[in-house]
Amino acid sequence: MKKIKIFKFIFALLIAYLSLAIISLIATYFFSFTLKDAFFIIGLMAFIIELLLNFSGNSMGLSIQSFGNLNSQYVSHVDLKAKQHENENYKPEVNIKAILNSTLFFSSIFILITSYFL
């Protein structure tokens, strides 16, 4: 099972790297950048987009409706128990978001390294 996950990760990484390289080549053709500059700009943009996609949070905070009431701790406890129940029931084998974020991160790093050596 782990070999399949590693293979999927490497395959997705290769596809992401090639797509970023093709986008860099298209930018070189249309905007008359040098190949090194296009790789750097596309790699940096992909890295920033990946960082912004990685922001996540939990919106299960204290509800505004119960804020200041006597039962606000009870409402918070019920919200946390509901979230815990949701997490226990939904555990996917392969987390697609994690795979996509990590492949985009590593492919943008590889594009930046490639731009350095061009």
Residue 67 lies in a domain: no
Contact between 34 and 115 under an 8 Å Cβ cutoff? The reply is: no
Residue 75 lies in a domain: no
Tens of pLDDT, residues 25-34: 898 888 888 8
Residue 46 lies in a domain: yes
d(C-alpha 9, C-alpha 103), whole Å: 7
Q: For 1-27, what is the mean pLDDT? A: 84
Residue 77 lies in a domain: no
Number of domains in the chain: 1
Residue bearing the bigger pLDDT, 86 or 117 = 117
Residue 112 lies in a domain: yes
Chain mean pLDDT for the chain: 77
Residue 74 lies in a domain: no
Residue 39 lies in a domain: yes
Tens of pLDDT, residues 43-59: 888 889 888 887 766 55
CA distances to 24, 85, 91, 99 from 8, rounded to whole Å, are 24, 30, 19, 9
Range of the domain at 53: 2-60+91-117
Residue 78 lies in a domain: no
Residue bearing the bigger pLDDT, 62 or 95 = 95
